Amino acid sequence: MAITIFRHKGHWDPQTRQNRALRFIESYALAVESNLSLTYPSTKYYSPTCPFYDTTNVIYTGADAIKAWMLRLFSPFDKVHLEGMSFMVVDESENGKAAFTVNAEFMATYWLKGDEKLIEAPRLFVFTIEDAETEDGEDGLQFSEVHLYWDTALVANETKRRAVLRKGET
């Protein structure tokens, strides 16, 4: 089995768009950023059996559970932006069967509802991407496993602190 590795520093560019796995992740990031109501089908990016391992030691299993959690996670925010910092793609695809593992580092910027100050938190994802299990996968791909590493307290504590400040202003 031939394995290829692709590394990239920085945000999306023409070079990342040449890589099938990174095109898929860019499409996902842009879909999340464009509408935090996540109007796309839950299986567009996540397989129906995908486990999503969150930093809080909670595992969300399946596209519907992952989307429901993301909707709760993003509910305090008007907007989010994922700025790419570094990507490493391990491509183990063979015989026309997709098999990618991607380490993706982002700086996530959150716009809290009713607040002009931004909240930033670095996030590291380890994505496993394979052929889609359903017909509505993006470019024939879906996440088959996701691990997310980030300091959730950075965002949660700042969100709570600002809520207390806003209550004190009224």
Q: List pLDDT tens digits, range 69-121.
A: 999 999 999 999 999 999 999 999 999 999 999 999 999 999 999 888 899 99
Which run of H or E residues covers position 65?
helix 63-74
> What pLDDT, in 10s, does the model give residues 19-67?
999 999 999 999 999 999 999 999 999 999 999 999 989 999 999 999 9
For residue 134, pLDDT over 70 is answered with yes
**H helices then E strands: how many in the chain?**
3, 7
Whether the pTM exceeds 0.85: the reply is yes
Residue 23: per-residue pLDDT: 98
Residue 167: per-residue pLDDT: 72
Residue 169: per-residue pLDDT: 64
* Structural domain span for residue 140: 4-169
Residue 114: per-residue pLDDT: 84
Number of structural domains the chain divides into: 1
> Are the C-beta atoms of residues 134 and 47 closer than 8 Å to each other?
yes
Length of the chain: 170
Q: What's the CA gap between 18 and 91, in Å, rounded?
A: 13
Phi-psi map region of 61: left, alpha, beta (phi>0 left; psi -120 to 50 alpha): beta
Residue 170: per-residue pLDDT: 53
CATH number (domain holding residue 61)? 3.10.450.50
Q: How many of the other CB atoms lie within 10 Å of CB of 47? A: 23
